Chain A
Amino acid sequence: MTVEYTFAFGEHRTLVGTLTMPSTQRPRRFAVLMFNSGVIHRVGPHRINVKAARRFADAGIASMRFDVSGLGDSGSSQGMSSFDRQAVEDLVAAMDEVTARTGIDRFAVHGICSGAVHALAATLEDERIVGLAMQDGFVFTTPRARMRRYLLPLRHEFSRAVRGAMRRLGALARRGPRTRPVVATSAGDGPLGTAGYTPERFAEALDRLSERGTSTLVLYTGSILNLYNYAGQFAERIRLRSTVSRVECVFAPDLDHTLSNRHAQGRMLDLLERWLVGLETGAPQARPSVPPTAVPRPQGTLTRRQAQ
C-alpha cells in the first residue's frame, strides 16, 4: 500500500514532483529520488519510475519522482545556470523538499542514461546521498568490447555483420589511421553528455564516494552492446583504488535501455530493491584485488542456444 502526494516545490515553486510513502510501515531512513531520463517526464521510460516507487514503498522505502526545470511538468528555471548545473540544483531542492515533508535526510538517486550524469554530479556534491544507481550512464569501451561488438551479430545475423564490417573497413581505409582517445560515452547522448570523464577520473569519483560511505550501483543493459558487452569490462577499465569498495557493477544483457518490456521492468525493480535494501544494512566490502562485478545469470545471455 502506498500514499502519494503531487505538488509544486522549489524556490519559485516551479518544480513538480510526486512523493510516494509506504502506508503500512515506518519508512526506512533514506528516500529514493527519480527524475527525467532524456526528455521523458517524471514517470520515466515506460512508467518505470511510477512502478519503482510503488515497489519501493512496499519495501518501506519512500521516494520522490520529479521533473527537473524545463522538462515534464516543471517550469523553466528563473536562474542563469546551465541545464546540467540546474539539474543538480533541482536534485538538491528535491532533497530539501522530502526532508521538509518527511524528516528523511538521506537519499539514493537513480539516474538513467543522461540522468546518470546529473545523478553523479549531485552525489559528488551532496553528502546526503548515500546511494547512487546509474543505468547506461558512463560507458568505457575496451579493445575486447570493440572486437566483440562485431562478433556478437555473427551469432545470429552473419551476413548483416559482414556487410557492416566491410562498410566500416572501407570507411576506415578511406579515412586512414588516427588515434582515438578513450572517453566516456553516455548512451543516447553522445560523448558530450559525460562532462569529459576519463576512466581514471570516473574511478577517482567512485573511490571518493566509497570512502565517504556512499554505495554505487552501475548497470549496463543489452541495448548498448556496441559499447559494453561482457561482464568484466567495467573492472578492466575502471581501476578502483580505495581500500573499501562500495561499487557494484551489473551487466544485464536481458534488460534494454528503456525497459520496454515487462521482463526487463521486473528484473530492474528486483535489482534496485535488493540494492536499496542493502544500503541500510550493508557494511563496506573489503576491496578484492579485482573490483567486484556482480554478474547475474540472467534468463538471457548471449548464447546461440538461447537465441533459438
Chain B
Amino acid sequence: MTPLRIGPRERELVAILHPRSAARERRAAALLCPPLGQESVRTHRLMRVLAERLAREGFDVLRFDYFGTGDSPGDDVDADLDGWRIDVARAAEALLQASGPVPTTWIGLRLGATVAMQAVADVTHRPAAVVACDPVLDGARYLKALAADHIATQAASYSLAAWRPPAAPSTDGALDAVGFALSGTLQAQLGGLRWVRTRGPAQTRIVLTGGCTDLDKASVQTTLGATSCVALAEPFDWTSEEALNASLVPGELLAALFAQVLAP
C-alpha cells in the first residue's frame, strides 16, 4: 500500500496504490471511485478490503479522494460533479502510469458510480468495464434522501437534548448533509442530474444493495443498457454512523463487487 498525491498542485488528490501481487500471472488494474460525504467515510473500509483482495488477484488498484473530499485538499464546498469527473480521469491516468496499459475496471459506489460512467468519455485508455453499485441516476431524489438522512442523524445524535442544530440553509447557500456541506453549485448539479435512457459505457455491470429503494433491477438495467445487474438481499445503510456500530464491510456486497470485477 503506497500513499500518493496525484494531479496538479492546485488540485492535488490523495490516493492509495495497492500494487498487484507478484505471485499472480494476471495483469489487470482497478480504479475505485468513492461516493459522497458520509457515504465515503462509511465505505472507506469496504474500499480498502476490496482493493487488497483485488491486489492479491493480480490487479494494480488505486483508491483516491476527489478534491474537497476525504483526505484530499479542498473544503467540502469545493466538491462539484464537473471537478470530480476531472479527478476520475486524473486518477485513471495515475493508475495507468503505475500498471501500464492493461485491462482496467472502474468500480464506483453511489455518486462515484455515476461520475465514473460519465468520465469514461474523458479518457483515452478506456476501462474494459465499469461496476456501478447503487448508482445515483436521479440527483434531485438523492438530495432529498440526503436531507432526510441528515434529519434522522440529528434526531439520533441529540436524542435527549432539547436543542437542535439550525435546519435552514446557511448564509453561504451550502446544505448540511450529514456533516458535510454541499455547495450551491453541487446542489444545482445534483438537481439537474437525471440519467434517462442514456446508455452507460460498454460493459456496465450493476450491483444493487437490498436497501436501495430508489432503483429497481429492471429499470436500472434498461436505463443504463447494463450488461448485467445483480440485486442483493442484504441492505446497506450508506449514511449511517460508524459510531452506531453499523456493518462496515458486508460480506455479500464485498463478494458481489469482487465477482463483478472478475467476471469475463
> Interface of A with B (CB < 8 Å)?
2, 4-8, 16, 18, 37-43, 45-47, 50-51, 54, 65, 72-73, 75, 113, 149, 152-153, 155-156, 188, 222-223, 225-226, 229, 253-254, 256-265, 298-304, 306-307
In the bound complex, residues from chain B placing their C-beta under 8 Å from that of A75 are: 1
Is the pair A6, B160 in contact by a Cβ cutoff of 8 Å?
A: no
Is the pair B179, A261 in contact by a Cβ cutoff of 8 Å?
A: yes
Contact of B189 with A by CB under 8 A: no
Nearest-Cβ distance from residue B90 to partner chain A, whole angstroms: 16
- How many chain B residues touch A (CB < 8 A): the figure is 43
A7-B3, A257-B157 are known contacts. Are A47 and B162 too (CB-CB below 8 A)?
no
Sample 25 A-B pairs with CB under 8 A, ordered by A number: A8-B3, A16-B3, A16-B16, A39-B242, A40-B242, A41-B44, A42-B71, A43-B71, A45-B41, A46-B41, A46-B180, A51-B75, A65-B71, A152-B160, A155-B162, A188-B243, A223-B158, A254-B165, A261-B165, A261-B176, A261-B179, A262-B170, A262-B181, A304-B162, A307-B164
Q: How far apart sit A155 and B161, CA to CA, in the bound complex (Å)?
A: 9
A6-B71, A47-B41, A188-B243 are known contacts. Are A258 and B158 too (CB-CB below 8 A)?
no
Listed residue (A18, A43, A113, A263) with the most chain B CB atoms within 10 angstroms of its CB = A43
Contact of B4 with A by CB under 8 A: yes
In the bound complex, residues from chain B placing their C-beta under 8 Å from that of A304 are: 162
**B157-185 vs A, Cβ < 8 Å mask (1 yes, 0 no):** 11111111110001000101011110000
Is the pair A300, B161 in contact by a Cβ cutoff of 8 Å?
A: yes
Is the pair A264, B38 in contact by a Cβ cutoff of 8 Å?
A: no
In the bound complex, residues from chain B placing their C-beta under 8 Å from that of A38 are: 242-243
Among candidates B3, B160, B163, residue contacting A73 with C-beta atoms closer than 8 Å = B3
> Interface of B with A (CB < 8 Å)?
1-5, 12, 14, 16, 38, 41, 44-45, 48, 69-71, 73, 75-76, 150, 153-154, 157-166, 170, 174, 176, 178-181, 241-243, 248
In the bound complex, residues from chain B placing their C-beta under 8 Å from that of A256 are: 154, 157-158
Is the pair B71, A18 in contact by a Cβ cutoff of 8 Å?
A: yes
Is the pair B157, A302 in contact by a Cβ cutoff of 8 Å?
A: no
Is the pair A18, B14 in contact by a Cβ cutoff of 8 Å?
A: yes
Is the pair A6, B41 in contact by a Cβ cutoff of 8 Å?
A: no
Nearest-Cβ distance from residue A212 to partner chain B, whole angstroms: 32
